Amino acid sequence: MSFLHISKTKMMVAAMTVAFGASVFSANAALSRKPQDNIFYATSTDPLGLDPALVDDFDSGNVSSNIYEGLMGFKKDNTEVVPLLATSYDVSEDGLTYTFKLRQGVKFHDGTPFNAQAVKFNIDRQMPENAVAKMSYASLVFGDVASSEVIDDYTIAIKMKKPSTPFLHNLAMCFAAPIVSPTALQKYNNNVNEHPVGTGPYQFVAWDRGQQVILTRFDDYWGEKAKTANIIIRTIPETSARVVALNNGEIDVAFGLDANVMDQVKKGGNVIQNEEGMNTNYMFFNLNPKQNGPTMDKEVRRALAMAVNVPELVQSLYKEYASVATTFLPTFVPGYSKNVKPVAYNPEKAKEILAKKGVKSVKIMVYTGARQYNPVGGQVLAEAVQGYLSKVGVQAELLVYDWATFKNKLLTDYWDIGFLGWNGDNGDADNFLYLFADDDPINNNPRWVNQEYRDLIAKGAATPEGAERNAIYEKAEMILAEECPILPISHARQLVAYRPNIENLLYHKIGLFFFQGTEKK
């Protein structure tokens, strides 16, 4: 029997049985609920994990953002930060001490009380002396933190090494910043990727890898209770299969859609949300000195970039559902400048330089499946670039892997060119541009080191919002464009489709779904 044609109730029971064996509570709860109690959301890729300190991918964040909360959060319709698990905060005149008053009466899903000790436990876990591999967001969120101090059960002071303009925005992000139950972290040896425990409106029930994650309403939630009892996050790799499932009513919400399926989605009578996305899809080059490949040479990088007709590629692959990226920053993020110009398309010059440098072949490492910044999928994009490179005399070998394997092999294997994207976590320029000032290759994929650029990013983080800070980021982007460790390609629109009986679906500007207020009529 096709998985798409198993009834929703049976799918839930099957998944819960895989995860928990004879879990009477889970199975009976699923069987006793009405269809309106279950919202089925489908995406292309499984989460990497559900510990917010140990992952950095959208699919993990999309689940975690409904399980966990941080001291700060975002308003529903923008990236303005507001207190969440904190009730208020005070910043010292020198910008070096943040004092947070915490919300009282909050419990984690395992019954552990939320307090200042829990916040400190989470911060200390990610400080440099304690951080472990794959805590890629630890430096971004807590890199400027010197220490934290519990003042009393519901007051914590965070002391900074230097002023940090983006710090409050960073505390609202879905990676590193969310507060995890200290009890769970101790129980599961500092890794809750498969045992997530937060304070959010939904709690974890089961994860059948490659199939679905099931969340259920946390009835002891401190705030407004979730409107829908269960959220089932299904993994359906093929875009066409997600559309069929949506049109048949087997799922309620479909993500990861591209221009090729939009007519079919519309004919199915679905509602389409189409908004400007805060993301960048990009190509990057290998600057790992230990591997010392041809793209260590700036002229080679720029020539390979010259070979790609980015405007033509974007129109061909994404049509009206993406815009050409001229810088790494989207146009509406403060710090964007139209004065920054990317490498211009010039195949004749590219061919001349590459022949002179003796570059006849390259290895391109890429992922399968759609990403929010690249809805057609990595392989399709890489094949298009492969075609452009062949026209300038360079043969490209594609190394294609599923998302999890791709992320690992980027760190271990040899490649010349890769493809990734970035979805802004908080609306601040530092959140985008810090990536290429980081030592962690999970963030700084090219492993590019440019001290002038790094100094500018540090200066920008310490400079108050305004024209002076924007000018700093303009200069940093000019260096990025000139040195060409990356080639920005596109900014995808945020596309999601859902059945007409779904109400109050919140797909936030940061690219995450918050299901707390969503209902199925």
Cβ atoms of 494 and 372 closer than 8 Å: yes
Res 116 pLDDT > 50? yes
User: How, if at all, do strands 494-498 and 486-492 pair?
Assistant: unpaired
Q: How far is CA 170 from CA 74, 126, 219, 434, in A?
A: 11, 14, 28, 12
pLDDT score at 13: 41
Residue 268 has pLDDT above 90, yes or no: yes
**pTM for this prediction:** 0.86
pLDDT, position 77: 87
419: tokens are: 């493809």
Residue 21 has pLDDT above 70, yes or no: no
Nearest alpha-carbon partner for 331 in 165, 95, 493, 517: 493
Average pLDDT over residues 413-434: 96
Pair 479, 453: CB distance under 8 Å: yes
Work out the pLDDT band at 31, boundaries 50, 70, 90. very low
Please state the rounded mean pLDDT for residues 70-91: 96
Question: Domain limits of the chain?
Answer: 29-68+200-270+499-520, 69-74+81-181, 279-493
246 pLDDT above the threshold of 70: yes
Beta-strand runs (E) in 112-256: 145-152, 155-160, 202-208, 212-217, 230-235, 253-255
CATH number of 29-68+200-270+499-520: 3.40.190.10
69-74+81-181: CATH superfamily: Dipeptide-binding Protein; Domain 1 (3.90.76.10)
Distance CA 291, CA 414 (A): 7
Q: Token pair for residue 340? A: 């920054």
Asked if 69-74+81-181 and 279-493 have one fold, the answer is: no
Give per-residue pLDDT as tens, 205-232.
999 999 999 999 999 999 999 999 999 9
d(CA 187, CA 201): 22
CA–CA separation, 261 and 242 (whole Å): 10
Q: How confident is the model at residue 265 (pLDDT cuts 50, 70, 90)?
A: very high
Q: For the chain, how far is it from start to end, CA to CA, in angstroms? A: 29
pLDDT at 20: 36
Beta-carbon-side half-sphere exposure of residue 473 (alpha carbons within 13 Å): 29
pLDDT score of 103: 98
For domain 279-493, give the CATH number. Answer: 3.10.105.10
317-363 pLDDT, tens digit each: 999 999 999 999 999 999 999 999 999 999 999 999 999 999 999 99
Percentage of the chain beyond pLDDT 70 is 94
Q: Which amino acid is at 46?
A: D
